[in-house]
Structure 1
Amino acid sequence: MAEQHTPRSLIVSLYGAYGRTPDNAPLPVAELIRLLAALGVDAPSVRSSVSRLKRRGLLEPRRTSDGAAGYALSGDARQLLDDGDRRIYAAGEPHEDEGWVLAVFSVPEAERHKRHLLRSRLARLGFGTAAPGVWIAPAALYEETRHTLQRLQLDPYVDLFRGEHLGFPATAEAVGRWWDLAAIAKLYEEFLDLHEPVLRAWSTREPSPEEAYRDYLLALDSWRRLPYADPGLPAALLPAGWPGGRAATVFGGLHGLLRDRGEEYVRAGAGGASD
């Protein structure tokens, strides 16, 4: 099975893994081209993808300390990545008694394009549909939901509530209507098919910095979508044999083995790049 990694998504993953510094230093354009070339992305694709991310307000053009052209993360992009960290690198199991967050929205017909944006964004945050105009997610997603809706200026259309499910169907039965759990499980299985063999391979020998960088960034680019497709339900509400925990263990293993080793490859080109 082939896996699709778009240049734009790989650039976001690159900044998430290696592009955040306390001073928000820009990555030189030439470095972006070098680092994406190791993943099979050509220079024109890097430049066009960077331009699209700039138009979306996620990257800002900035000169490096030696005057080279580069791009730094915008404030919104840093918030987006910081919120993502809490899911992508989450540790521990959610508790069943944490409750739920409800998003109830109403959008005027004249602004129906915002209704579509709101629905798609809630789905990408991991919300399920409890009823028309009523979306539900574990309460742990409240802060990220609030940040996201405010960033997209959708908050005037939404009321957020916290509470518990009181019936009438059992909660484990209800979540099967709110989310397509079979489709989410399939995503995890696909991740395992592709990346579990990589973990086994690097568990027996040490990769070079470039190998570690390549395999870690590809795994991260695959993995970071899954915690958004999966709302993070407690184990008691999931079907037997749920593959999410195994997939998280594989990603955690790859992160531990490859992330820092891959940073050696990233930093090897620092300081010597020019556009």
Structure 2
Amino acid sequence: MLAFFGNHVLDEGDLCVYSGSIIDVLGRVGVGEQAVRSTLTRMVNRGMLRRQREGRKMYFGLTPQATRVLEDGRTRIWKQGAVNDDWDGSWTLLGFSLPDSWKRQRHDLRSRLTWSGFGALYSGLWIAPGNVDVSAVVSELGLSDHVKIFHAQADQATDIELMIRDTWDLESIAARYVTFDKRWTAHLGAGSGDDPIGTRLRLVSEWLWTIRTDPRLPARHLPPAWPARPAQETFRRVAEQTAAPARRRARELLETSPAR
């Protein structure tokens, strides 16, 4: 759903999309109507989407919170990329201590930290390469009083490559890139197909799933032939191939209304 709104709404200004159009497009990638409707409702309840009624039809648009999430995803996908060749040697450390009863808050914090590139150095101490600004994330979750953030460099006695292997599951991250690259390289060889909007939705969704647990670790401390680079090149080739056709198809398929 986030990939759909990122592809077709984020850059269109204040726009709402008819639920039937959303059901149609997500149905092209195998998502059933009931699943779409329940996801829309859940995202409204979480403050990610807002409803707008036009006669008997219901339209959905982005909230400021969703816009921030999608803009962050766009930066990660299109500007930063998956390969970190310019790491400056710095690290961001975040320590937190939450009451045992705060299970949802702990889950939400860990999920947002993972997306921001953090890994658990210890149970309550997380670390990410580079100077990462997560103050807005912490504030948005209402956890500012329970979190401490530091920026530092590792001492010479610290084995950075060992720390990386202990903190992140490199095999799992690499396997995601290999799987993505094989699947979409095969797609390139088979041609673009006749459903560019569905193809692009699958592409972006799978790429987001692939990179979401990748903290963009410094390339010089990763194993040789790290598979993120070829996977990223494949992603960008398919993205370029589908961009214009998907945009044209979206204009034909999506019923929209200006946000009020």
Is the structural similarity TM-score above 0.5?
A: yes
Task: Name the CA distance, whole Å, in 2 between partners of 1:246 and 1:49.
Answer: 33
1:15-54 maps to which residues of 2 (within 5 A)? 15-54=5-44
Alignment pair present for 1:235 and 2:219 = yes
Secondary structure (helix, strand or coil) at the match of 1:224 reads: helix
Using CA pairs below 8 Å that are at least 6 residues apart, which structure has the higher relative contact order? 2
Letter in 2 for 1:106: S
Alignment pair present for 1:168 and 2:152 = no
Length, aligned pairs only: 255
Preserved contact between residue 17 and residue 256 of structure 2 (Cα < 8 Å): no
Alignment pair present for 1:178 and 2:190 = no
Residue of structure 2 in register with 1:56 after alignment: 46
1:1-275 maps to which residues of 2 (within 5 A)? 11-63=1-53, 68-89=57-78, 90-91=80-81, 93-109=84-100, 111=102, 113-140=104-131, 142-143=132-133, 145-202=134-191, 207-208=193-194, 211-271=195-255
Preserved contact between residue 62 and residue 71 of structure 1 (Cα < 8 Å): yes
Letter in 1 for 2:127: I
Secondary structure (helix, strand or coil) at the match of 1:222 reads: helix
Distance change >3 Å, CA 67–CA 20, structure 1 → 2: farther
Task: Name the CA distance, whole Å, in 1 between partners of 2:219 and 2:11.
Answer: 36
Distance change >3 Å, CA 30–CA 230, structure 1 → 2: same
Structure 1: 5+ residue stretches without partners? 1-10
What TM-score do the two structures reach when normalised by structure 2?
0.88
Alpha carbon RMSD of aligned pairs, Å?
Answer: 2.3
The alpha carbon displacement at 1:67 in A equals 7.9
Structure 2: 5+ residue stretches without partners? none
% identical aligned pairs: 27
What TM-score do the two structures reach when normalised by structure 1?
0.84
Preserved contact between residue 86 and residue 218 of structure 2 (Cα < 8 Å): yes
The alpha carbon displacement at 1:230 in A equals 0.7
